Amino acid sequence: MYTGTDFQASGLRVAIVVSTYNHSITDKLLTGSLETLASRGIEADSVDVAKVPGAWEIPLAAAVMARSGKYAAVICLGCVIRGETTHDVHINTQVSQTLGNLALECELPVAFGVLTCNTVEQAISRAGGAVGNKGVEAAEAALEMMGLLRKLPPSET
């Protein structure tokens, strides 16, 4: 059985793409991700953070970073809160699909830490509140996938 749990990632570089929109939420997601990476052996100078204006811009920055070959994973953080229109649905659908496709294309962990909430209260709960910190969870998922990919047989492309 292949697993990537308890992977110590010292010596590897990680990219984080974070939206500045809803920054009171995304700042907490970023802090959670950075603290998690540090606790697992990734030095602060081995993490590059790209700040983008909103969730819509996350995939482009993530793609450039993923395709650079410099990173063992890309962690994507953002927060989209439902409004009076269906705008959030279009953003969430495109961002999630594009990031999923990017992970497959690059064979690289692309962690999805983009909150897709109905209310500000739900976002607060997921950024260090009652439901935890999804930035921590995204970093943990990236770390586990980095470990797993190092154990799986290489692809035959």
Q: Please enumerate, by residue number, every residue annotated as part of a binding site for 5-amino-6-(D-ribitylamino)uracil.
A: 21, 55-57, 79-81, 112
29/136 Cα distance (integer angstroms): 7
Give binding residues for (2S)-2-hydroxy-3-oxobutyl phosphate as ranges: 84-85, 126
Among the listed residues 23, 70, 87, 90, the single catalytic one is 87
Burial class (CB in 10 A: 0-12, 13-18, 19+), 13: middle
Q: Could you give the 3-state DSSP secondary structure of residue 78?
A: strand
Residues 6+ away with beta carbon under 8 Å from 126: 115, 117, 132, 133, 134
Give binding residues as ranges: 21, 55-57, 79-81, 84-85, 112, 126
Nearest to 134 by CA among 119, 112, 107, 149: 112
DSSP state, 44?
A: G
Q: Where would I find the beta strands (DSSP E) of the chain?
A: 14-19, 47-52, 73-81, 110-117, 127-129, 132-133
Is residue 23 annotated as part of the catalytic site, yes or no? Answer: no
> Which residue numbers are catalytic?
87
